Structure 1
């Protein structure tokens, strides 16, 4: 089984309810920030890595996303027609399309500035020690993030749950081994389940993003994201 991630899972199935009227008739990944759909911002991060395949999961208004990405031979679609399987169930359902070995996963409701997030993860990935490598940023620096942080890091870069203490925000980008997904009996579940297994075994790590990030999960995030990108272009 390969140790270098060669495939990317893009999570694009959600209803985007926090966007209100903006997602009444279009899926959140097609909302534009600085003249570009959110899913295209995500795909830009993958371009320098020459990945063998990209998989996009679909549920809400899937035909619009299929049409938007028509002609991309490197993209496959993992449909979730009956129910949204959440991140864990969705990733497991997409494994036949992703292939063996660790994979990148990336949320499609954020924009990035600074160094390429996936390239940073790849440079820090150590398959001998890691089952999961999450990209993080100190919570006060993560624009649009609500809360004090998801994780803390120890001196060797391992993550633990922040449990209310000041910490780092998870930015929706990671490298993850997928073989243990088979151990989870539920059909619908979050990748938090897999992270907790890796944390318990000391094989979950974090890498601090060298740059900026903005959540675009609510309407106010659009202006914040456009300001972040404008400053990054200076």
Structure 2
């Protein structure tokens, strides 16, 4: 079992309902920001970080994601008949990801600053951590309307609270997924167990991050990466 992860799970199965009409004819990961699909922005970070194995889960308009990725070294984990949410989807993809800790990455965000996957790899300490999340200070989290998700102590240990925003990127150990009975479940269920054991940690992102979960996030992200005022 490896301690340093060399596989990444890209979450690409969702319905994208918050995107309204934009996802009637395409899945959210294929919506373009600055002329490039959101999924391709994520894969560029994966390549830059030197991660050897990439897996994307699919459900909604899976054929379009498969066609978009044809010829590229990305394995597909198709969820059928039902979508499995983040936790169930990750567990379903484990035969493709392999054993040990993995990166997971939402595909509906744009980053400005250091590669978050590299940031995680440098801070990962499996002796102390069962998961390490990238969090973003609220003032640097564009397009995110909700309250913060986590508080972080001086040692990096997380607790629930209105502090920093979870960015959708983490390293997580996957062995405890086998103990969860539900077929479809959120990774929050796994995090709650780690919180109880004081083994959930976070690293604060020093750049800016934009949530592209709603249509208005597209313009915000394009302005951010273009250096404009947002």
Measured against the shorter chain, the TM-score band is: over 0.9
Structure 2 runs not aligned, ≥5 long:
none
Q: Is the 8 A contact 1:139 1:147 kept in 2?
A: no
How far is 1:208 from its partner?
A: 0.4
Cross-structure match for 1:175: 171
How far is 1:90 from its partner?
A: 0.1
How far is 1:138 from its partner?
A: 1.2
Structure 1 residues 199-208 or 47-56, which shifts more? 47-56
Deviations 1:110-156 (A, max 9, x none): 10010001000000000110000000011232001122200000121
How far is 1:230 from its partner?
A: 0.6
How far is 1:33 from its partner?
A: 0.2
Cross-structure match for 1:226: 222
SS in 2 for 1:39: helix
Q: Is the 8 A contact 2:140 2:207 kept in 1?
A: no
Cross-structure match for 1:65: 65
SS in 2 for 1:231: coil
Structure 1 runs not aligned, ≥5 long:
none
Cross-structure match for 1:117: 116
Deviations 1:15-42 (A, max 9, x none): 1001111000100000000000000000
Cross-structure match for 1:128: 127
Cross-structure match for 1:150: 149
SS in 1 for 2:142: coil
Structure 1 runs (4+) greater than 6 angstroms displaced? none
Cross-structure match for 1:78: 77
- Partner Cα separation in structure 2 for residue 185 and residue 146 of structure 1: 33
SS in 1 for 2:3: coil
Deviations 1:80-136 (A, max 9, x none): 121110000000000000001100000010100100010000000001100000000
How far is 1:52 from its partner?
A: 2.2
- Partner Cα separation in structure 1 for residue 36 and residue 48 of structure 2: 18
Q: Is the 8 A contact 2:137 2:205 kept in 1?
A: no
- Partner Cα separation in structure 2 for residue 22 and residue 60 of structure 1: 13
SS in 2 for 1:126: coil
* TM-score w.r.t. length of structure 1: 0.96
Tell me how large the CA RMSD over aligned residues is: 0.9
* TM-score w.r.t. length of structure 2: 0.97
